[in-house]
């Protein structure tokens, strides 16, 4: 009996695109069938693995043999990718941050609004079972009044300088995850934000090696995030919630099991995206809220 799967067209098969590819390869309901990748050697390798490859998003749209799109191009090209894909009127799952600024994310919002395409932003932590469970207990009042949420994201080693120099900086590239997770877990909006960063020691890199920010949230709760481009052994992602009644610290990605957590979350995200109508799905409004917070933090220090 043949399985009915949702055919996904992947746009951008770099570091994250290939991670999505590996994660989705174990899904019974979603299959990546076509890929847009301009690097000829990468496209040739993908095509030898049986994927249909295209050299542009327009060619993918023209081929018309997919049910939705996954955008994993560099963040500076998110707007362009969404603009090229939206005429198809199919659902689009766009990697975070959805452009580098509130202006770019708003442009994406306008484009998908005009084409009436469904858009989801790839904030995968919303699909980590331990975080869904944490959110359910926060919502149920287990923690009582929330005092502080602390989110940590410390990468093992930084990405290549070419990526770092166009990523928008550590707050846009990494910090938006922490803003989104804190907003989503607490159900709060960001009222104000203050940040500080450590510039890279490498002269050719215009990115930071570490960053911290604090936020005042709408229900008189504080949010705190710590970000780093260097961490021993493996990537680390964690969250700590301090409430009047309960305290909890969760290592979301840590040590050898971290990859499994990420892969499961990415696959679950793709499957939820294919089905649609998922209350956990990050929207373009969520992406704009995260970018507004980190853009504000950066502008305040100019
Ligand atoms: N959610 C997460 O945890 C997470 C982690 C890493 C990266 N990301 C996001 O994923 C996106 C990609 O990051 P990355 O690390 O994979 O970058 P990358 O540079 O490794 O990969 C980008 C890929 O897109 C391709 N590309 C460039 N222009 C293109 C175009 N016009 N059409 C199609 N493909 C094109 C490049 O050749 C490259 O293969 C970024 O937006 C980044 O913020 C998200």
Q: What tens digit of pLDDT does each residue of 192-243 get?
A: 999 999 999 988 999 999 999 999 999 999 999 999 999 999 999 999 999 9
Which ligand 1 atom sits closest to the C-alpha of 17? Answer: 16
Could you tell me if residue 71 is inside a domain?
yes
Q: Is the whole model's pTM more than 0.95, yes or no?
A: yes
Same domain flag for 161 and 289? yes
Instruction: Give me the percent of the chain exceeding a pLDDT of 70.
Output: 98
Q: Tell me the CA–centroid distance for residue 299 and ligand 1, in Å.
A: 25
38: Cβ below 6 Å to ligand 1?
yes
Give mean pLDDT, residues 42-62.
97
Same domain flag for 150 and 54? no
Tokens of 170: 């550590």
Give mean pLDDT, residues 118-131.
98
Could you tell me if residue 212 is inside a domain?
yes
* Residue 198, CB-side half-sphere exposure with 13 Å CA sphere: 11
Instruction: Give, for ligand 1, the residue of 12, 97, 267 to mutate: max count of ligand atoms closer than 8 Å to Cβ.
Output: 12
pLDDT at residue 119, rounded to an integer: 98
Which residues is 195 bridged to in the sheet?
A: 213
CA distance 6 to 28: 9
CB 105 within 8 Å of CB 95: no
CA distance 69 to 119: 10
Could you tell me if residue 237 is inside a domain?
yes
Same domain flag for 219 and 292? yes
Could you tell me if residue 271 is inside a domain?
no
Which ligand 1 atom sits closest to the C-alpha of 39? Answer: 37
Closest Cα to residue 11, out of 65, 92, 90? 92
Give mean pLDDT, residues 129-157.
98
161: Cβ below 6 Å to ligand 1?
no
Closest Cα to residue 175, out of 300, 289, 12? 289
Same domain flag for 115 and 210? no
Could you tell me if residue 269 is inside a domain?
no
Closest Cα to residue 133, out of 35, 241, 13, 291? 241
User: What is each CA distance from 21 to 9, 15, 52, 141, in whole angstroms?
Assistant: 10, 10, 13, 38
Overall domain count for the chain: 2
Instruction: Give, for ligand 1, the residue of 19, 55, 60, 95 to mutate: max count of ligand atoms closer than 8 Å to Cβ.
Output: 95
Could you tell me if residue 137 is inside a domain?
yes
pLDDT at residue 243, rounded to an integer: 98
119: Cβ below 6 Å to ligand 1?
no
Same domain flag for 180 and 110? no
Q: Tell me the CA–centroid distance for residue 71 and ligand 1, in Å.
A: 8
Dihedral sign of CA atoms 72, 73, 79, 81 in order? negative
pLDDT at residue 140, rounded to an integer: 98
Which ligand 1 atom sits closest to the C-alpha of 78? Answer: 41
**pLDDT for 298 beyond 90:** no
CATH of the domain at 23: 3.40.50.720
Could you tell me if residue 92 is inside a domain?
yes
**pLDDT for 2 beyond 90:** no
For strand 30-36 and strand 68-71, is the pairing parallel, antiparallel, or unpaired? unpaired
Give mean pLDDT, residues 59-72.
98
Last residue of a domain, one of 87, 122, 157: 122
Same domain flag for 143 and 24? no
Q: Which domain holds residue 116?
A: 6-122
Same domain flag for 48 and 167? no
Which ligand 1 atom sits closest to the C-alpha of 73? Answer: 24
Instruction: Give, for ligand 1, the residue of 17, 40, 127 to mutate: max count of ligand atoms closer than 8 Å to Cβ.
Output: 17
CATH of the domain at 233: 3.30.360.10
Give mean pLDDT, residues 25-32.
98
Determine the angle formed by the axes of helices 176-186 and 284-300, rounding to 10 degrees. 120
Give mean pLDDT, residues 251-265.
97
Same domain flag for 82 and 213? no
pLDDT at residue 1, rounded to an integer: 44
**pLDDT for 138 beyond 80:** yes
Same domain flag for 87 and 169? no
Same domain flag for 27 and 80? yes
**pLDDT for 106 beyond 50:** yes
Same domain flag for 115 and 146? no
Same domain flag for 133 and 234? yes
Last residue of a domain, one of 122, 150, 174: 122
180: Cβ below 6 Å to ligand 1?
no
pLDDT at residue 295, rounded to an integer: 96
**pLDDT for 3 beyond 60:** no
Last residue of a domain, one of 92, 122, 152: 122
Could you tell me if residue 75 is inside a domain?
yes
> Tokens 């989705």 label which residue?
24
């Amino acid at each position: 009996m043949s399985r009915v799967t949702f055919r996904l067209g992947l746009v951008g098969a770099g570091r994250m695109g290939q991670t999505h590819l590996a994660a989705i390869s174990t899904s019974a309901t979603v299959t990546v069938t076509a890929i847009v990748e301009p690097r000829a050697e990468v496209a040739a390798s993908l095509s030898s693995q049986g994927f249909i490859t295209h050299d542009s998003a327009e060619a993918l749209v023209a081929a018309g043999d997919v049910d939705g799109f996954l955008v994993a191009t560099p963040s500076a090209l998110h707007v362009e990718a969404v603009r090229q894909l939206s005429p198809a009127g199919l659902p689009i799952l766009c990697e975070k941050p959805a452009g580098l600024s509130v202006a770019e994310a708003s442009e994406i919002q306008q484009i998908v609004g005009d084409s009436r395409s469904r858009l989801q932003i790839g904030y995968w932590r919303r699909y980590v079972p331990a975080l869904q469970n944490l959110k359910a207990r926060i919502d149920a009042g287990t923690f009582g009044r929330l005092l502080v949420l602390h989110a940590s994201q410390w990468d093992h080693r930084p990405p290549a300088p070419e990526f770092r120099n166009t990523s928008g900086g550590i707050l846009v590239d990494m910090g938006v995850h922490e803003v989104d997770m804190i907003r989503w877990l607490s159900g709060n909006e960001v009222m104000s934000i203050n940040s500080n960063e450590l510039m890279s020691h490498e002269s050719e890199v215009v990115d930071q090696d570490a960053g911290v920010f604090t936020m005042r949230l709408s229900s008189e709760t504080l949010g705190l995030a710590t970000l780093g481009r260097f961490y021993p052994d493996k990537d680390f992602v964690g969250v700590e919630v301090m409430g009047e009644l309960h305290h909890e610290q969760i290592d979301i990605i840590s040590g050898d099991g971290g990859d499994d957590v990420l892969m499961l979350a990415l696959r679950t995200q793709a499957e939820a995206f294919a089905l649609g109508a998922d209350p956990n799905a990050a929207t373009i409004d969520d992406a704009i809220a995260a970018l507004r917070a980190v853009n504000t933090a950066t502008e305040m220090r100019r």
